[in-house]
Amino acid sequence: MGRTARADLKEYAVWDRTTRWFHWINFVAVLGLASLGTVILYAGPLGVGDGGKTALKTAHVLTGYVFLVNLLWRIIWGFAGNRYARWKAVLPFGRGFIRETREYISGFMGGNAPGWLGHNPLGRLMVGALLAALLTMGGTGLILAGTDIYYPPFGGSIKAWVAEDHSKLEEIKPYSKVNVNEASYKEMRDFRKPFVQVHGTLFYILLAFIFAHVAAAIITDVKEKNGIISAMFTGWKVFDRKPVDHE
């Protein structure tokens, strides 16, 4: 679908409303998670007590639930959305992808990059990396939520693991030793350590990915002038020639 913008330009519909909502909800959720995570990381030097840590971690987990529900909805939408929202057009797979990537890089370096309505080949690589990092962060985050402040979906099982008396699981609270078996608690914390390491390392990797994503969007928008940034608000891009992925 296209409409005339100027005599030499044409607007094309690309990002549907659901895709745009996902993008901005994800942006706000990740920003909130990163901010809360940073404060939690430096809670000791900041003088935050156990009660404050529990409140911060609770807010972090609740924000994480919003993030994961939104991400799950996007995964489903990748099978039900419009052509440019579908995984075939989003992930770096498919016949001809390597050729398209070479052509795009060559054209971009020469100042004549092929116009893409959806994600260009390099954008698809970035989306694939971001999606893998976000899914891993979400999965490890759920495990940490259960092993730290006993939140769903694993909190009940973790309480049962560390409990002295399984009939009084409700007595088990974060930062409390009431009804907690010391040996079982140590086993649980040892089990938790690899997930902490992965989650913590990915935090910095994800920040780098986000910085690269934003920088690439700005550079592409300035160089190609097709409205790649404004399209995430309006749903439309503008081109002076037919995009290669337009039917």
Structural domain boundaries enclosing 7: 2-239
Residue 72 within any structural domain of the chain: yes
Residue 125 within any structural domain of the chain: yes
Model pLDDT, residue 81:
94
Digits of tens for pLDDT over the chain (247 positions)? Answer: 555 445 578 999 999 999 999 999 999 999 999 999 999 999 999 999 999 999 999 999 999 999 999 999 999 999 999 999 999 999 998 889 999 999 999 998 888 888 899 999 999 999 999 999 999 999 999 999 999 999 999 999 999 999 999 999 999 999 999 999 999 999 999 999 999 999 999 999 999 999 999 999 999 898 888 999 999 999 999 998 889 888 7
Q: What is the SS3 string spanning the chain?
A: CEEEEECCEEEEECCCHHHHHHHHHHHHHHHHHHHHHHHHHCHHHHCCCHHHHHHHHHHHHHHHHHHHHHHHHHHHHHHHCCHHHCHHHHCCCCCCHHHHHHHHHHHHHCCCCCCCCCCCHHHHHHHHHHHHHHHHHHHHHHHHHHHHCCCCCCHHHHHHHHECCHHHHHHCCCCCCCCECHHHHHHHHHHHHHHHHHHHHHHHHHHHHHHHHHHHHHHHHHHHCCCCCCHHHHCEEEECCCCCCCC
Give the CATH number for residue 163.
1.20.950.20
Residue 247 within any structural domain of the chain: no
Domain count, the chain: 1
Residue 245 within any structural domain of the chain: no
Residue 58 within any structural domain of the chain: yes
